[in-house]
Structure 1
Amino acid sequence: MGKAKISVLMATYNGEKYIEEQLNSLLVQSREIDELVIVDDYSTDATVCIIRDFIDKHKKNDSWVIYENEKNKGWKKNFHEGISLITGSVLFFCDQDDIWLTDKIECQMKILEQHPEIMVLASEETVWYGGNKPEVTKLSDHATLEKIELGCNAENYMIQCSGCTMAIRREYINRVLPYYIDRCAHDDIFWKIGSLDGKCYFLHESTILHRIHGNNESRKRGRTLKKSIQNCRNEIDTGNQMINYMQTYSVPNYSVKKGTVENVINAYRYRLGLLEKKKVSSILPLATRYSMIFRRKRQLVGDILLAFGLKEQL
């Protein structure tokens, strides 16, 4: 992989406030980006103009390109469709408002070059609320790697990273895409299927400053009843796609992992029964399975409130 072509896929939408700072962090990477593909989701501010001016200023017209959607599609679909535009052998996902450490690409590429078994490589991040920047600008030499594999109690089923920390090999993208559900998050399916294969690894070291502010697109997750019901359906469909994948490819510990995914699907069916059909009988079996689908216990309480109209939005 010494001559691997590195592609970065960025989705943008009304990001004029922070986009230039992110573009600059990509420009100064210690290992150069071969291709930056930006897909703008019909921004109504100056985002596109800032990007075009930046590309012209730094003479990147031959390798940095921006596509403009003719209508707003949402960040999930924007990333999904953008994958088809990249041509590199390794893909890095990128958000519009973060800052990458200067050796993020160099470090992650070195790991991929040394470990051909790794298909999906994610990392920690430094959460940053603006203001003074954390002093960390480069990765240490002592970061540890953890293999992410789905366990019998649904350990590692839920994604534990931000997609903007991920690097994925092109051949694995081609393998996973047929199981990709358009309305789901772009990073989630690679984490989930990577954990089935045992080809997803996690770098215990931060590679980005993840900027948190009031307009993060992926954090606009107001929990309405309608959204929660759709989330259940999405997760059930994703679980079924994972089973389809396992039936097509040789997955280690097949029977255990298939059973785990089926248990998760059933948990979401109980949740759907509670939310959509107000089934009180779903509460107890859902409570016994909460750790499979909820990150916090209080989310189950929130579902009960939503289901019975005690709280319209959380």
Structure 2
Amino acid sequence: MGNNKPLVSIALCTFNGEKYIAEQLVSILNQDYSNLEIVIIDDKSNDNTVNILKSFSDKNQNIKLVLNETNIGFNNNFRKALDLCSAEYIAIADQDDVWVENKITRLMENIGDNLLIYHDSAYINNLGEPTNKSTLSHHRFVKGNCAKNLLYYNCVSGHTCLIKKELLTLTAGFPTHFYYDWWLAYTAACRSKITFIIDKLVLHRKHEESSTGKDKTDAKTTRIAHLKLFYNHQETPNNLKNFIQLLLDGYKELDRNHFSSKLFKTLLLNFNSLFYVRKRSLFSICNLILRESKSK
């Protein structure tokens, strides 16, 4: 497979990733899809990451290395990397994973006319040992017209994504306090242009130092903020916007009352879609609906 295949850009952002970045870069360079451009942006690392990156870029002409003069943060750095990618197709990489050698090939074979395709990932620990779990162990995947499924929970991780650059034109930027991959997935879902394959194409390292490992947020105030972002998204269709407003009205009722019957009814009637993505028991879902419907 050579340059007769479409160019694929890989957006890789780094920050203090000296522990695992070399292993990740080797797995990317060993992809069986050879027509690759690798765009790496380091967000002002203060460990040995930059030296490792320079050693790889010096030996590989398809690596474009950019070093930020100041730390601009996770979301802004990924947006910068994505915008610097020159190919129509862009894959996203985390600094501490390991890619299966046919990852790009499988995604390119299956993206079709979608704006975004994603896949399952096998989890490994900080030592690189398998945990015998994957994303599908605790999430259900969605595709097509599935924006409603993504209002409360996300099943699309950036490191699993291949997108068409066209998707970036549908959103001016990434919200500051929101995951960029969730935002991209929701945007594609609003156009019914999202799909998945169940291949495990990445060994995804789960550890406390990762950005997702640090996140423990599941607060009601955060969910309300997310709903407002979705409501104001330029791609949200009117029927979904009306539904989001119904949810927000229910939460607003909690400013006046201890219990919101409006929110309780809305969540109960729509639990199959709103809570489909996160695998949990019916008992757990009922408890969640009750907690959401109470002011405290």
Q: Normalising by structure 2, what TM-score? A: 0.78
User: How many residues in Structure 1 have an aligned counterpart in Structure 2?
Assistant: 274
Which residue matches 2:180?
186
Give the distance between the partners of 2:22 and 2:128, measured in 1 at CA.
17
Query: What is the Cα deviation at residue 50 of structure 1?
Result: 1.4
SS of the equivalent of 1:37 reads strand
Is the contact between residue 148 and residue 156 of structure 1 (CA under 8 Å) also seen in structure 2? no
Deviations 1:237-260 (A, max 9, x none): 23321xx325xxxxxxxxxx6333
Q: SS at the partner of 1:148?
A: coil
What CA distance in whole angstroms lies between the structure 2 residues aligned with 1:286 and 1:48?
51
Superposed counterparts of 1:94-105, under 5 Å: 94-105=93-104
Q: Residue 312 of structure 1 aligns with which residue?
A: none
Contact preservation (8 Å) 1:121, 1:200: yes
Q: Per-residue deviation at 1:31?
A: 0.7
Amino-acid identity (%) = 23
CA–CA distance in structure 2, aligned partners of residues 63 and 169 of structure 1: 20
Structure 2 unpaired stretches of 5+: 133-140
Query: 2:136 matched to which residue of 1?
Result: none
CA distance in 2, matches of 1:86, 1:263: 36
Task: Tell me what 2:160 maps to.
Answer: 165
Q: Please list, as runs of the form range in 1=range in 2, the aligned pairs for 1:28-47 lying within 5 A after superposition.
A: 28-47=30-49
Indicate which of 119, 125, 130 corresponds to 1:123: 119
CA–CA separation in structure 2 for the residues paired with 1:283 and 1:49: 58
TM-score (norm: length of structure 1): 0.74
CA gap of 1:230–1:66, structure 2 versus 1, over 3 A, is farther
Q: 1:264 to 1:129 in 2, by over 3 A?
A: farther
- 2:206 is equivalent to residue 212 of structure 1: yes
Aligned to 2:138: none
Check if 1:245 corresponds to 2:235. yes
Where 1:181 maps in the other structure, the secondary structure is: coil
Aligned twin of 2:190 = 196
Asked if the contact 1:91/1:170 (under 8 Å) is kept, the reply is yes
Return the match for 2:263 from 285, 302, 307: 285
- Rate the CA distance shift 1:172–1:150 in 2: closer, same or farther, 3 A: same
Quote the Cα distance in structure 1 between the aligned partners of 2:14 and 2:252.
Answer: 33
Cα deviations across residues 192-233 of structure 1 (Å, max 9, x unaligned)?
1222222101111111011101101133223386xx635532
**Residue aligned with 1:245, SS:** coil
Task: Deviation per CA, 1:266-299: give whole Å up to 9, x if none.
Answer: 435644775xx58523477257527437946466
SS of 1:201's equivalent in the other structure is strand
| Cα displacement (A) at 1:91 | 0.4
1:260 pairs, out of 231, 240, 259, with 240
Measured in 1, the distance between the counterparts of 2:257 and 2:106 equals 50
- Cα deviation for residue 55 of structure 1 reads 2.3
Partner of 2:55: 53
RMSD: 3.3
* Residues 61-85 of structure 1: CA deviation (Å, up to 9, x unaligned): x321222223333212221222211
CA gap 1:269/1:237 in 2 versus in 1, 3 angstroms: farther
What is the CA–CA distance in structure 1 between the aligned matches of 2:71 and 2:252, rounded to whole Å? Answer: 29
Are the aligned partners of 1:229 and 1:272 in contact in 2 as well (CA < 8 Å)? no
How far does the alpha carbon of each residue in 1:105-155 deviate from its partner, in whole angstroms, 9 at most, with x for none? 11111223xx2x22211111111224464599xxxxxxxx9743227xx33
Give the drift of 1:9.
0.5
> Secondary structure of 1:223's partner?
coil
The residue that corresponds to 1:236 in the other structure is 228
Contact kept? 1:146, 1:203, Cα under 8 Å: no
Distance 2:261 2:67 in 1: 45
Q: Please tell me whether the aligned partners of residues 40 and 67 of structure 1 are also in contact (alpha carbons under 8 angstroms).
A: yes
Gaps of 5+ in 1: 137-144, 247-256, 309-314
Q: Secondary structure at the match of 1:207?
A: strand
Q: 1:159 offset after TM fit, Å?
A: 2.6
- The 1:299/1:97 distance shift into structure 2, 3 A limit, reads farther
Q: Deviations over 1:22-53 (max 9, x none)?
A: 11110101112521111222222111111112
Letter in 1 for 2:11: L
- Quick one: distance in 2 between partners of 1:262 and 1:219? 34
